[in-house]
Structure 1
Amino acid sequence: METFIKDYDKILKKQRALETNDPLDRLIAVVNEAKEKIQNGPESVNASLATLSKAIKTVSNGISEEQKELQSALTKYSKAIDKKFVADMMGTINPHAFDNKEKILRNTIAMHFIRQGNFEVGDAFAKEAGLTIPDAMRHQFVEMFDIHAALKENNLEPALLWATRHRSELEKRPSTLEFKLHRQRYLQLLQNKQTQEAIVYARKNFGYFGERHTQEILRLMGCIAYMDRIETSPYADLITPSFSDDIQHMFTRDFCSLIGLPCESPLYVSVTVGTQALPTINKMVAIMKAKKTEWSQQSELPVEINLTDNTKFHSIFACPVSKEQATEENPPMMMVCGHVICKESLVKLGRGNANQRFKCPYCPTESMISQAKNVFF
């Protein structure tokens, strides 16, 4: 990407040079100069016109050269992008990936609209796709977005009412959302110069959280003495602008968790993961095409895909051999080569003998049941 940035900077400099030395302004200046000479000396019309023609030609040639340089730079930049980024993605697409799964895909799309707050679009899509979105779930997300909208306006009351109503469920997570909301409301009062009201609010609401947040409550009470200059005090971190965004994210995460759903919609996560994996997959497809080979294993990638931490999920494990989901009785087991399969598949490969050597289903390495380790996700 650094090469692209350097080339882009060169194009930008050339474009700015053209803007600061506007060719049209130069042409206008030449015409005005000739006009002034003709007005001052009508007898020099022919000479002035000849000079004007010559000047126009010179300026036009200069403009042409400058435009050619800019066009050349743009062409090189465009070719570099085309060469670096593969436009044809057909080699990475599995046209049968969603065979017999159309309803699941449509339901995922409909729920994505609902989860993004686009309720009218989600309802219209569900109706046209012949789906039924549960009213209870729809109402839950309507409530979530109403509270989220209030948080954006720094109105904490709806979120506080929700957090208080679900206090027991939030404490089981455990979640600090309710305390963070009270903390933010307390600081709002202080910043609005309502010191006495803030103290009364703290006495009323902080006591319940005293054992778990003692040090933070002490800092909140201590910052009162610095409110006139808190930006330069040891308590400046209490009024960081990003804290409001953190509360919004925390509320969304906890709300979704309580109704048994992840914070981000599955469609968003899938698209994000696919985008991150695409360069590696494209490179692998190109290598296989050059070697005239194909990846023989279905539903498994030939290389590891490096993903960001927020897109890594290990809540379940499906055995790549038996295709069955792991359970406590049939846990995932890692062989010496690093490949993981379920215990039942491992026992079948080893024919029940703990010291019987067998080949890994995915690489040439030989293993034994006794060498396998239980994996906990």
Structure 2
Amino acid sequence: MESFIKDYDKIIKKQRTLETNDPLDRLIAVVNEAKEKIRADPSSVTSSLAVLGKSIKTVSNGILEEQKEIQSSLSKYSKAIDKKFTADMMAAINPHAFDHKENILRSTIAMHFIRQGNFEIGDTFAKETGLTVPDSMRHQFMEMFDIVAALKEDNLEPALQWATRHRSGLEKRSSTLEFKLHRQRYLQLLMGRQVQEAIAYARKNFAYFGNRHTQEIFRLMCSIIYMDHIKTSPYADLMAPNTNADIQHMFTRDFCSLIGLSCDSPLYVSVTVGTQAMPTMIKMASIMKAKKTEWSQQQELPVEINLTDDTKFHSIFACPVSKEQATEENPPMMMGCGHVICKESLQKLCRGSSNLRFKCPYCPQESMASQAKNVYF
């Protein structure tokens, strides 16, 4: 990678050289110089234009040479990257992954447009592919984007009204959105030097949250003392510049949660996960190709893919006996001793008989398949 970094630095250096010595500025200077000569001595038009033509040609040739140099550097850099990274991404792609699943893919794309606020594009795509986007879903996301747009303009009222209407649902999810909105509104009044209005607002709205946010409410009320220089006070964190963006994200997350959806669209998550998994998949494919082997399992990958926390949505159980990931057809089963293995492993241990006693693979206790219970994560 060091060689790539050096080549990249060379390109950046040449680009900066061009920026400091702007070719257009040089051409303008040549033209202005000719104009001044003609203005000072109108009889020198012919000679001045001849000199101007030569000067323009000289500057143009210089510009072309400079451009050739930077283009040559870019071309060499691109070829070096292509030569170094020769991974064949097609080897890690299953061309039949979406066979007979076209409607699912189209629906996912249409819903992605809706969830991004591109309602017109989403409706057009759905119409052209013969899909029907539920009006209720469309109206819900239209409401969400209207509220987000208001938050971007520091208008908290629509979000406060929504949070008040959905207070019970937010509390079930231990969300602090409603309090954060009231907190932000209080600070808006305080920064607008509407001290009495801020105190009245706090008395009206903070009492409901007193048991859960006592310390924070104390800090909010004490911050009035430092109103004139709060940014250099012990309460400067109350005026963090990213507070509004955090509230927008929190609102979007809670809004989607209340209608049973994740904060990010399935298409975005799928692309993100695919990008994270691609290097591992390419390496796996190259090893299998070299060894002339094929992966026979259809429901799981032969390697572990490390994903970020925001792309993990449910627990995964891998059988300690077979080392295979549990599926709906092969669910995890808890034996009488409390240890858990997959159903297929359990059937092998009991040899197909539900009343045959067998020893647990992890403790001395004996169990029977009839005693085993399904485990749900």
Q: TM-score range by the shorter chain?
A: 0.7 to 0.9
- TM-score, length basis structure 1: 0.77
Alignment match, 2:344 = 345
Alignment match, 2:79 = 79
Question: 5 Å matches for 1:58-69?
Answer: none
8 Å Cα contact 2:107-2:131 kept in structure 1: yes
Alignment match, 1:363 = none
Please say which of residues 310-319 and 92-101 is displaced more in the overlay.
310-319
Alignment match, 1:89 = 89
Shift of 1:190: 0.5
Shift of 1:300: 2.4
Structure 1 residue matching 2:211: 3-state secondary structure:
coil
Equivalent of 2:328, from 324, 328, 339? Answer: 324
Shift of 1:138: 1.5
Alignment match, 2:214 = 214
Question: 5 Å matches for 1:204-283?
Answer: 204-283=204-283
Q: Would you say 1:287 and 2:291 are equivalent positions?
A: no
Separation in 2, partners of 1:257, 1:227:
37
Q: Would you say 1:168 and 2:168 are equivalent positions?
A: yes
Separation in 2, partners of 1:122, 1:10:
44
Shift of 1:287: 2.5
8 Å Cα contact 1:316-1:325 kept in structure 2: no
Separation in 2, partners of 1:220, 1:191:
12
Alignment match, 2:143 = 143
Please say which of residues 211-220 and 308-317 is displaced more in the overlay.
308-317
Q: CA offsets, 1:219-270, max 9 Å, x none?
A: 0001011111111111010011111011111111111111111111111100
Q: CA offsets, 1:134-164, max 9 Å, x none?
A: 2212111111111111111111101101111
Q: CA offsets, 1:61-92, max 9 Å, x none?
A: 99898666545532331122213445743212
Question: 5 Å matches for 1:26-175?
Answer: 70-86=70-86, 88-175=88-175
Alignment RMSD (CA, Å): 3.9
Structure 2 residue matching 1:260: 3-state secondary structure:
coil
Separation in 2, partners of 1:59, 1:104:
59
Structure 2 residue matching 1:268: 3-state secondary structure:
helix
Separation in 1, partners of 2:364, 2:95:
40
Shift of 1:295: 2.4
Taking a change above 3 Å as real, the CA distance of residues 68 and 265 of structure 1, as seen in their structure-2 partners, is closer
8 Å Cα contact 1:354-1:369 kept in structure 2: no
Deviating 4+ runs (over 6 angstroms) = 58-68, 316-319
Equivalent of 2:359, from 348, 355, 361? Answer: 355
Which amino acid in the other structure matches residue 359 of structure 2? N
Taking a change above 3 Å as real, the CA distance of residues 315 and 166 of structure 1, as seen in their structure-2 partners, is farther
Alignment match, 1:10 = 10
Separation in 2, partners of 1:120, 1:65:
48
- TM-score, length basis structure 2: 0.77
Structure 2 residue matching 1:304: 3-state secondary structure:
coil
Separation in 1, partners of 2:62, 2:148:
58
8 Å Cα contact 2:326-2:342 kept in structure 1: no
Separation in 2, partners of 1:313, 1:106:
23
Task: Specify every segment of 5 or more residues in structure 1 that has no aligned partner in the other structure, as ranges.
Answer: 37-48, 357-367
Shift of 1:4: 3.5
Structure 2 residue matching 1:159: 3-state secondary structure:
helix
Taking a change above 3 Å as real, the CA distance of residues 7 and 160 of structure 1, as seen in their structure-2 partners, is same
Separation in 1, partners of 2:82, 2:376:
44
Shift of 1:331: 6.2
Separation in 2, partners of 1:162, 1:227:
30
Shift of 1:322: 7.6
Taking a change above 3 Å as real, the CA distance of residues 170 and 15 of structure 1, as seen in their structure-2 partners, is closer
Which amino acid in the other structure matches residue 301 of structure 2? L
Shift of 1:170: 0.8
Task: Specify every segment of 5 or more residues in structure 2 that has no aligned partner in the other structure, as ranges.
Answer: 38-50, 352-356, 366-373
Taking a change above 3 Å as real, the CA distance of residues 186 and 371 of structure 1, as seen in their structure-2 partners, is farther
8 Å Cα contact 2:148-2:248 kept in structure 1: yes
Structure 2 residue matching 1:109: 3-state secondary structure:
helix
8 Å Cα contact 2:300-2:325 kept in structure 1: no
Shift of 1:111: 1.1
Taking a change above 3 Å as real, the CA distance of residues 3 and 239 of structure 1, as seen in their structure-2 partners, is farther
Separation in 2, partners of 1:214, 1:179:
11
Structure 2 residue matching 1:271: 3-state secondary structure:
helix
Separation in 2, partners of 1:375, 1:12:
58
Which amino acid in the other structure matches residue 350 of structure 1? L
Separation in 1, partners of 2:60, 2:136:
70
Q: Would you say 1:303 and 2:307 are equivalent positions?
A: no
